Amino acid sequence: MSDAAAGTGVQARLKVEHPGFSLDIALDLPGRGVSALFGPSGCGKTTCLRAIAGLLRAPGGSVVVNGECWQDGARFVPTHRRALGYVFQEARLFAHLDVRRNLEYGIRRVATAQRRVPLAQAVELLGIGHLLARRPDTLSGGERQRVGIARALATSPRLLLMDEPLASLDLQRKREILPYLERLHAELDIPVIYVSHAADEVARLADHLVLMEAGRVLASGPAPALMTRLDLPLAHGDTAGAVVDATVTGFDAAFGLTQLAFAGGTLWLPHGGSRIGLAVRVRIQARDVSLTLTPQADTSVLNILPATVTDLAQDGPAQVMVGLDVGGARLLARITRKSAALLRLREGAAVHAQVKGVAIVD
């Protein structure tokens, strides 16, 4: 049974007209996990979130969240009656209230019976317990954003909308906040719609992906599959990569390495995963995968996997993106066009993938 038929998930049909721009999309998103709306600036991501929130009218549209109808025909539930949390690029905190009062402010409008995320849990998840007595102007950008997210969560939303929550932060702060977002994802059963135009964020956080272009949906589906489709934009450029599911199978304490098993074999990576049997999601960037025709013995690369070339696509003037089947798992390798020619790579070719970098993302 589909999510829609089961009364779960987020279904939205939205048409919005702005001068010189029209949004016309149908979304059918899973009822839990992170769905990322990804696309270039101006493609309509924020317009879409605002329409789902009811901040913007989309006449004739419909919005249903886990079976609860927020808009359909004549029915239009105003934003303040929709159980949603909205996190913006910059946390909009009240400057005259300390962090605790900022958090409590959001909760007051939620009826006691509907409070499903206790304040203490939101505080703990975002790691802001030590900041409760502070005023917003004494917080760093990353801390403010964590408070903003905790405040949205503490209202026990049925849907969390996040509009580029990391966009205003520098790389250091982004790195600081991403683990908290991953925890939310793992520990809370609230669907999240996450707007981003950063491919690396999407790779770390998204379960489901909606690729948008000029007000339309280009493709929608499970993130790992869409990220590696060579006919779609995410599978190109320096940040392209694959995400695969793996399990921790061992540790090499002497060398500080963790062993993972995935459909395509075994991977070693420095320090990751806390216990044997743990399910993890790993990201393997296309630029960290090189190809050889015979397995190399005298190489510093630990992870060498037999693979079959499934497809190739030009990626800029000098590079080629190579799609690989590795025991049923899909990886990408970004190599130079010259190397592809020298190795005579074509569909069906048997190769060995040398995987230089593996990172656990979940």
Interface residues with ligand ATP (CB under 6 A)?
18-19, 21, 39, 41-47, 197
157 strand-pairing partners: none
User: In angstroms, what is the minimal distance from the CB of 30 to ligand ATP?
Assistant: 22
Measured from the CB atom, is 44 or 273 closer to ligand ATP? 44
Residue with tokens 């206790």, as numbered in its chain: 118
User: In angstroms, what is the minimal distance from the CB of 235 to ligand ATP?
Assistant: 20
Among residues 193, 240, 195, which one has the least CA distance to residue 35?
A: 193
Measured from the CB atom, is 51 or 243 closer to ligand ATP? 51
Measured from the CB atom, is 194 or 262 closer to ligand ATP? 194
305 strand-pairing partners: 353
Cα separation, 161 vs 191, in Å, equals: 9
Among residues 192, 203, 108, which one has the least CA distance to residue 154?
A: 108
User: In angstroms, what is the minimal distance from the CB of 49 to ligand ATP?
Assistant: 8
User: In angstroms, what is the minimal distance from the CB of 79 to ligand ATP?
Assistant: 16
User: In angstroms, what is the minimal distance from the CB of 73 to ligand ATP?
Assistant: 24
Backbone φ and ψ of 330, nearest 5°: -105, 130
User: In angstroms, what is the minimal distance from the CB of 32 to ligand ATP?
Assistant: 24
Measured from the CB atom, is 22 or 121 closer to ligand ATP? 22
Among residues 189, 148, 187, which one has the least CA distance to residue 167?
A: 148
Residue 162, both tokens:
């996040």
The CA–CA distances, whole Å, from 56 to 14, 16, 17, 43, 47 equal: 10, 8, 11, 16, 8
Measured from the CB atom, is 213 or 311 closer to ligand ATP? 213
β pairing state of 159-163 and 21-29:
unpaired
β pairing state of 303-314 and 350-355:
antiparallel
User: In angstroms, what is the minimal distance from the CB of 246 to ligand ATP?
Assistant: 32
The C-alpha R_g of the chain, in whole angstroms, comes to: 22
Cα separation, 136 vs 154, in Å, equals: 18
Measured from the CB atom, is 126 or 212 closer to ligand ATP? 212
Measured from the CB atom, is 21 or 94 closer to ligand ATP? 21
Q: Give alpha helix (H) positions in 155-213.
A: 171-187, 199-205
